[in-house]
Amino acid sequence: MADSSHTPSLGMDRTEDRPVYVVGGGPGGLATAAALRAKGVRAVVLEKSGAVGASWRGHYDRLHLHTTRKLSGLPGLPMPRRFGRWVSRDNVVKYLEKYAEFHELEVITGVEISRIDPAPDGRGWLLHGSGGRELTGSAVVVATGYNHTPRLPDWPGLSSYGGELLHASDYRNPGPYAGKDVLVVGVGNTGAEIAVDLVEGGASRVRLAVRTAPHIVRRSTAGWPAQRTGILVRRLPVGLVDRMAGPMAKLSTPDLGSYGLPRPDTGLYSRVREGAIPVQDVGLIDAVRKGKVEPVAAVASFDDGKVVLADGSSIAPEVVIAATGYSRALEPLVGHLGVLDERGRPVVHGGKTSPSAPGLYFNGFVNPISGMFREMALDAERIAKALAR
């Protein structure tokens, strides 16, 4: 997205004009900017790439939202009905582009913020940007994304491994892997869907390395989306939801223990609170039962061109795809402000700010079972309400 007529120029210092700066032009950042604009608060979105929705543009081709279209719209603009119930990656990108245009958002592209400090005069915040820019804002909303920086485990022997290895962030479609033996490492939603994609795309063999067995849920049962259940139980006690989820899982999903993918021995909502969202089934169950996706033990190390698994066995796939997640990478930006927990996550989000950093807000750093787009939309409204006061 090129700079528009609504985009201000960015000089070395803007102490005479202190908008709310929103760092990140993804759904969380755009939603916050639109909600602020609706409250009469000027917001300027700073996006390091050349267009809004950069992370969505880089996702694999077959990706669809696991949440319904109706429950995934951002403030002030529903997703079009023609996008269908489960919105594709390309349509998410189109929606974000239209969203910025519809709300006439001020978006600056090509500006990366490296550090945020309190303004020297004590009024607001000083943002250090690429090209030596220093921008002063009355408040700052950080919305750089939950999936910011690809994370690759430091497996022993990895540095000398000569085989083909890529992070899931670099995977686009199964075309390059047709006829190949592929190991997918990680059984979150991304790893599960890539494994199914590889099977359907003609890979000769697909194995799925599993460290911790996931909870698997149907994306929709008799027309009822799993997201609506997530919304209903969002505020219930963790133990209660865990007890409810066990019998429901036995009714809705088969036991894959004999195939190497047993039911977890920890509660579903307990795992969610630790950051492990259930895997929504988009073909994994059938692929495992038919032997097309083979669960294997977790990766322990790499040795002489082979992958050594936690059970002591070794395999020699032609390709290893690491669906091993992402880090928030917030430490260089705000780590010095006392606003992150021991895992690098913001201690507050939405309309709350940390006592050590009043006026610094976060959106998009939780991954709830009620749907990320929905929660970003709600947090955007909360941030706007807080700042409008």
For residue range 286-342, what is the model confidence (pLDDT) as tens digits? 999 999 999 999 999 999 889 999 999 999 999 999 999 999 999 999 999 999 999
pLDDT of residue 7: 45
pLDDT digits (tens, 9 = 90+) for 189-233: 999 999 999 999 999 999 999 999 999 999 888 888 989 999 998
SS (H, E, C) 180-234: CEEEEECCCHHHHHHHHHHHHCCCCEEEEEECCCCCEEECEECCEEHHHHHHHHC
The domain limits of the chain are 20-148+328-388, 150-325
pLDDT of residue 277: 87
pLDDT digits (tens, 9 = 90+) for 51-100: 999 999 999 999 999 999 999 999 999 999 999 999 999 999 999 999 99
Written as one letter, the residue type at 224 is W
Q: Tokens standing for 182?
A: 């592929």
Q: Provide the CATH number for the domain formed by 20-148+328-388 in this structure.
A: 3.50.50.60
Output 49 or 146, whichever has higher pLDDT: 49
CB 137 within 8 A of CB 46: no
pLDDT of 16 higher than 60:
no
pLDDT of residue 272: 86
Q: Kindly state the DSSP code that residue 64 receives in the 8-state scheme.
A: B
Please compute Rg for the chain using Cα positions.
22
**Percent residues over pLDDT 90 in the chain:** 81
pLDDT of 8 higher than 70:
no
The pair phi, psi for residue 374, each rounded to 5°, is -60, -45
pLDDT of residue 215: 93
For 224, other C-beta atoms within 10 Å of its C-beta total 10
pLDDT digits (tens, 9 = 90+) for 121-156: 999 999 999 999 999 999 999 999 988 899 999 999
* CATH superfamily name and code, 150-325: FAD/NAD(P)-binding domain (3.50.50.60)
Q: Do the two domains 20-148+328-388 and 150-325 of this chain adopt the same fold? A: yes
pLDDT digits (tens, 9 = 90+) for 222-271: 888 989 999 998 889 999 998 998 888 888 899 999 999 999 988 998 98
Q: How confident is the model at residue 364 (pLDDT cuts 50, 70, 90)?
A: very high
3-state SS class at 155: coil
Spatial CA neighbour of 174 closest among 193, 152, 200, 142: 200
pLDDT of 168 higher than 90:
yes
Written as one letter, the residue type at 60 is Y
